[in-house]
């Protein structure tokens, strides 16, 4: 298999490269039983290195895999409609606010810990706009990988 043209480049991921990455994600997730998530490319790479080396066989090294993995997942995040994206955070925050087992100080501390995570997700979603078109045909598969639906 050819080395992915995306590897190490600043250009946008194309559909063929996104297809390769999603295929690897599906295979590794099926073997490992682990979910696929933004920021989890290193763990997926480590698992694959120890259990199959699909990533190397597809022409990726560690850095190019992380770049392609992140591009696919941020592209996926960019395609999620804004109300659905917001709901991903709204439900846990509502549960936190409704909790009777935590003090106001504990809730505030948890919210303070979550705020940078939410901001990072929004930034990833924004950067993923460059990859949204490449992953759009793969949305049903990515939906299953990320949300299990």
CA–CA–CA angle 35, 22, 115 (5° rounding): 50
pLDDT in tens, 104-114: 999 999 999 99
Question: Percent of the chain beyond pLDDT 70?
Answer: 91
Kindly compute the dihedral angle of the four CA atoms of residues 142, 145, 148, 149, in this order, to the nearest 10 degrees.
Answer: 20
Sign of the C-alpha dihedral, residues 52, 55, 60, 63? Answer: negative
**pLDDT given at position 8:** 46
Domain ranges for the chain: 15-147
- Per-residue model confidence as pLDDT tens digits over 5-34: 555 444 568 999 999 999 999 999 998 888
Query: What's the Cα-to-Cα distance from 36 to each of 11, 62, 114, 127, rounded to whole Å?
Result: 24, 17, 20, 19
* Residue range 47-76: mean pLDDT, rounded: 93
pLDDT given at position 3: 47
How does the average pLDDT of the chain come out, rounded?
Answer: 89
- pTM given for the model: 0.85
Supply the pLDDT for residue 32.
Answer: 86
d(CA 48, CA 29): 10
**Between these two residues, 136 and 52, which has the higher pLDDT value?**
136
């Amino acid at each position: 298999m050819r080395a992915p043209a995306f590897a190490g480049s600043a250009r946008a991921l194309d559909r063929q490269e996104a297809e390769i990455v999603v295929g690897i994600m599906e295979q590794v997730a099926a073997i490992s039983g682990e979910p696929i998530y933004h920021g989890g490319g290193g763990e997926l790479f480590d698992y694959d290195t120890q259990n199959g080396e699909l990533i190397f066989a597809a022409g990726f090294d560690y850095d190019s895999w992380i770049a392609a993995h992140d591009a696919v997942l941020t592209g996926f995040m960019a395609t999620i409609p804004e109300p659905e994206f917001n709901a991903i955070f709204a439900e846990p925050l509502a549960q936190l606010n409704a909790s009777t087992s935590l003090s106001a100080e504990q809730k505030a501390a948890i919210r303070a810990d979550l705020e940078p995570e939410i901001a990072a997700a929004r930034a990833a979603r924004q950067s993923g706009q460059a990859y949204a078109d490449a992953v759009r045909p793969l949305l049903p598969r990515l939906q299953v990988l990320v949300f299990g639906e």
